[in-house]
Chain A
Amino acid sequence: MSTKSISKLFLIFVLFFVQNLKAFTQEEGSDFNPTDMIMHHIQDSYDWHFFDLGETSVTLSLPVILKTDQGWITFMSSAFHHDSEGGVVVEKEGQRVVNYHEKAYVLNEGETALEFGEDHYPNNAVRPLDLSITKNVASIFLSVIVLLLLFPRLASHYKKSDKAPKGLNNALETLVIFVRDDIARPQIGEKKFMKFMPFLLTVFFFIWVTNLLGLLPGAANVTGSISVTVALGLITLLLMIFNGTKDYWKHIFWMPGVPVPVRILLAPIELVGLFIKPIALMIRLFANITAGHIIILSLIGLIFILSSAGVAFISVPFALFISVLELLVAFLQAFIFTMLSALFIGMAVEEHEHH
């Protein structure tokens, strides 16, 4: 990339920071609560808010899909009018829906407004089965589109020529070879690694692209959502369980080569270990990405906590520095997730020498 385009990107970043500052200033009118602000920014929401331009907020309205005992309810998130305090009641299919802290609640029969109990939780509404296309879900779809634009194009290259691809395709191919030769092959072994390549490649590029998209201002914090990492970790777990060899299970439940009492002691530990592995995976990814977002938001939030625009001269460069660091983290976390998935799968499919 030339210096010119780098400086252009830099400018865009700065511009978006300024835009975000504007958004914060509106929050500043009321009591500025940095925790609320940060939580609001790293959590999922029903509509995709990009930035405010003067009085109008530039927002992408996304479908809300709810399932209650009475049936499905669908409407666009714009019906909430950017309200997330449970104030706006959306009436649909004879049911009333409110958005409280970006969670849809269906009011009980006959209720017209959300009421809170002693514990500050809504006490006259229930959470329906929520399959809404939220900001995070839309962002996942965006990552999918990016991946579907990039890789089938690379694949078509091999039909046309048997030479190495050029430009972007070459970079992508290098990464594919990296996943194959530095992650899958050494961790899983020459014999079995090809079977897991689709999963490893997909997960690697999905996490990486999603991490990178998440760094864009106004973007969603997808890989920093525990729900997303749970889904990814679950696939690793399922692959471990369904591809585990006899030896692997034997080593979990009846460890060979140790006395019987130790075997009994080891069985629960090993069984828990089986689940701990993917759990560690998903917590690592979630925590790393969320932490990155929190650091950047905190640095920006400092300006408002200290109520001084001068702080911006320190926090903005710092936030920028962290953002660049996050570019590295985006790749690193994708690599680590894929690497450890491959390692765990490799442990499960390993053929042991008979002792």
Chain B
Amino acid sequence: MDLVKPEFGLFFWQLVTIVILIFLLAKFAWKPILKGIKAREDNINESLNAAEDAKKEMISLQDKNQDMIKEARAERDQMLKEAQAARKRLLEEANTQAAEKASQIVAKAQETIEADKKAALAEIKSEVAQLSLQIAEKIIVANLKDDKSQQELVENMLKDVKLN
């Protein structure tokens, strides 16, 4: 049957044409097309990977930031605590110093008072002695106006001596 009997002419032209077509299209179409598609796919994959990396980096950066904030907070707390401690210490120190100084001042004052008191007492003593001398003089002068009184005095004195 003609239908299933190959014709050489048609076979020949088909073979020649398809072989030439394969080479022509391979050179001018398939190679650049496949290369272009491949390049684009690679590009897309790279971009996707880069985006993913960027995302990861961002997350790590965020974590780092969080850590830094935490650290900063901790540092601030620490500093506050230290400052408070320092204030307390300073206050205490000031207090003790003040107390010391006060006691020193008091001591000094007491000393001065003591010294003044002593001086006053000494003065009073010498004054009293002078006064006593003057009194004694006056008394002696009065008592020694006559013999009788002189006698009486000696007797009294002797009486006292006897008593001693």
Contacts and interface: CB of A to CB of B under 8 A. Distances in A.
Contacts of B17: 140-141, 144
Interface stretch (A148-156, A245-253, A260-268): A148-156
A114 interface: no
B29 interface: yes
Interface string A59-102: 00000010000000000000000000000000000000000010
A44 B7 contact: yes
B135 interface: no
A129 B16 CA distance: 16
Label chain A's interface by main secondary structure. helix
B160 interface: no
A270 interface: no
Contacts of B8: 129-130, 227
A136 B12 CA distance: 12
B2 A155 contact: no
B29 A162 contact: no
Contacts of A202: 18, 21-22, 25-26, 30
Interface string B28-43: 1111111111011001
B4 interface: yes
A231 B11 contact: yes
A85 B33 CA distance: 49
A45 to B, nearest CB: 11
Nearest to B25: A202
B11 to A, nearest CB: 4
A111 B17 CA distance: 36
Nearest to A287: B4
A234 B15 contact: yes
Given A39-B2, A162-B39, A173-B33, A155 B28 contact: yes
Interface string A119-149: 0000000000111111011001100100110
Contacts of B10: 44, 134, 136-137, 225, 227-228
A155 to B, nearest CB: 4
A198 B25 contact: yes
- Most central of B7, B23, B24 by chain A CB within 10 Å: B7
A50 interface: no
A151 B18 contact: no
A298 interface: no
A155 B37 contact: no
A235 B23 CA distance: 13
A133 B25 contact: no
B9 A228 contact: no
Given A151-B29, A155-B29, A130 B18 contact: no
Contacts of B161: none
B21 A147 contact: yes
Nearest to B40: A162
A226 interface: yes
A137 B6 CA distance: 14
A197 interface: yes
A20 interface: no
- Most central of B3, B8, B10 by chain A CB within 10 Å: B10
A14 interface: no
A130 B7 contact: yes
Contact of A226 (B4, B13, B21, B32): B4
Interface of B: 2-15, 17-19, 21-26, 28-37, 39-40, 43
19 contacts: A44-B7, A129-B9, A130-B8, A134-B9, A137-B9, A141-B17, A148-B24, A151-B28, A151-B29, A151-B33, A154-B29, A158-B37, A197-B34, A198-B26, A202-B18, A226-B6, A227-B8, A231-B11, A232-B18
Given A151-B25, A234-B15, 13 more contacts: A43-B3, A133-B13, A151-B30, A158-B32, A159-B32, A162-B36, A176-B37, A198-B30, A202-B18, A203-B18, A227-B6, A232-B14, A235-B19
